[in-house]
Amino acid sequence: MSAGKKILIVDDEPHNLLLLKTFLVHMGHEVAEASNGIDALKNLGADIDLVLSDVMMPGMNGFELLRRMREIPDFDDVPVIIVTTLGDKSSRLKAVQAGAMDYISKPLDPLELRVRVDAGLRMKQKSDKIRKFQSELADMVEERTLALNRALAELRESNLDMVYRLAAAAESKDPETAAHLLRMSNYCAMLAQKLGLPSDEVDIILHASPLHDIGKIAIPDAILMKPGPLDESEWQIMRTHTLHGARILDKSPNRILQVAEEIARTHHEWFDGSGYPGGLKGTGIPLLGRLSAVADVFDALTSPRPYKAPLFASEAADILREGRGTHFDPELLDLFLESFDEVLTIKQKFGDSAPHDLTFHSNQTSTDHRPG
Ligand SMILES: [Fe+2]
């Protein structure tokens, strides 16, 4: 067995310590000494590979020392060999029960001592290897977890960046402001939160809803930027922005774009079935379509346009009420109006007068819309 290990020997009899030490040093080991259990606990360190302990000692006996050591995580796998004159079966059992790996009877037999000590050191070497492996494994898991979390955060950021660039592309053709996008999406997220949707879904809705009018990118400027009211044929073209938006966003593996597709396609459906493009009715309209309709119309009514002045929030609320059950899902509308203080807070926070860009911050939302 390998020499050069550090062994703690515990005995209240100096001549016993001296004898043990002599044998162990002769075997090539370094020796630390203690005169009882208390003394031994003070001398225990990370460098101790094996403990040889007497049983009967004043202050703290060998069994108690063993028991204490097994309660200390750093030393619970340090092998302990009991060295005693107690030769009866019950004492040996007690030693094993207390956690001793072995015992040696006095008077010491040098050959027996070498065999037992070598066995103890082999056991310690194995447990050291296991402990080192566990530690390396834990480090590796922690490192990989951190790397994974970093990658997920980067992926989320790049997702959001892409979404906002898309929204900004549509924005560049649309006279409506970035502030509209922020308000509208924050209204959507507020409603989603009040409906009890999970926070990650609320977050996705917040970031997806600015894309509701992305299809306007396909609408001719002459219609999109017309300063006056649209005629019927122009409206027919304008209404296709829902289908253009759905086509642009369709079949994406990205969850934000999937949600955005549903909103783009259904935010102009009416609860009574008279909306477009699908003429869907009631709860046949996806929840996000019903929810975004309330948010979008409220913000369109309360926003200035080249062709109209903004309504006061209370006037807009009255108009929304007129559409209860026809244009809007009654329950969602009620929820929106019951939360009017929060609606006004969002309206003020993302007002048209304040500078906005489409940089995303979680907990912030929104976007625009011309009532197309
Ligand atoms: Fe729209």
Ligand 1 centre distance from Cα of residue 71 (Å): 68
State residue 88's pLDDT score: 66
Residues labelled as active-site residues: 216
Ligand 1 centre distance from Cα of residue 21 (Å): 89
What tens digit of pLDDT does each residue of 31-45 get? 999 999 999 998 888
Residue 80 belongs to what H/E stretch? strand 80-84
Ligand 1 centre distance from Cα of residue 268 (Å): 6
Judge whether residue 341 has pLDDT over 90: yes
What tens digit of pLDDT does each residue of 68-99 get? 998 888 888 899 999 887 566 777 788 888 88
Ligand 1 centre distance from Cα of residue 355 (Å): 23
Ligand 1 centre distance from Cα of residue 17 (Å): 91
State residue 4's pLDDT score: 85
State residue 365's pLDDT score: 32
Beta bridge mates, 50: 7
CA distance 343 to 187: 7
Question: Which superfamily does CATH assign the domain made up of 6-130 to?
Answer: Response regulator (3.40.50.2300)
State residue 87's pLDDT score: 64
Sign of the alpha-carbon dihedral angle for 232, 233, 234, 240? positive
- More confidently predicted of 154 and 167: 154
State residue 361's pLDDT score: 39
Judge whether residue 354 has pLDDT over 70: no
Q: What is the number of other CB atoms lying within 10 angstroms of the CB of residue 233?
A: 9
CB 260 within 8 A of CB 249: yes
Domain ranges of the chain: 6-130, 172-349
Q: In Å, how far from its chain's centre is CA 206? A: 19
State residue 350's pLDDT score: 86
pTM over 0.85: no
Name residues with Cβ closer than 5 Å to ligand 1, which is an ion: 213, 372
Residue 149 belongs to what H/E stretch? helix 110-171
Q: What is the number of other CB atoms lying within 10 angstroms of the CB of residue 235?
A: 13
Ligand 1 centre distance from Cα of residue 37 (Å): 81
Ligand 1 centre distance from Cα of residue 330 (Å): 20
Pick the CATH number of 172-349 from 1.10.3210.10, 3.30.565.10, 1.10.10.10, 3.30.460.80: 1.10.3210.10
- The amino acid sitting at 49 is D
Band of the pLDDT at 136, cuts 50, 70, 90? very high
Give every strand in the sheet of 30-34, ordered side by side: 30-34, 6-10, 50-53, 80-84, 102-105
Cβ burial of 255 (10 Å; 0-12, 13-18, 19+) is middle
What tens digit of pLDDT does each residue of 255-264 get? 999 999 999 9
Ligand 1 centre distance from Cα of residue 372 (Å): 5
Ligand 1 centre distance from Cα of residue 57 (Å): 88
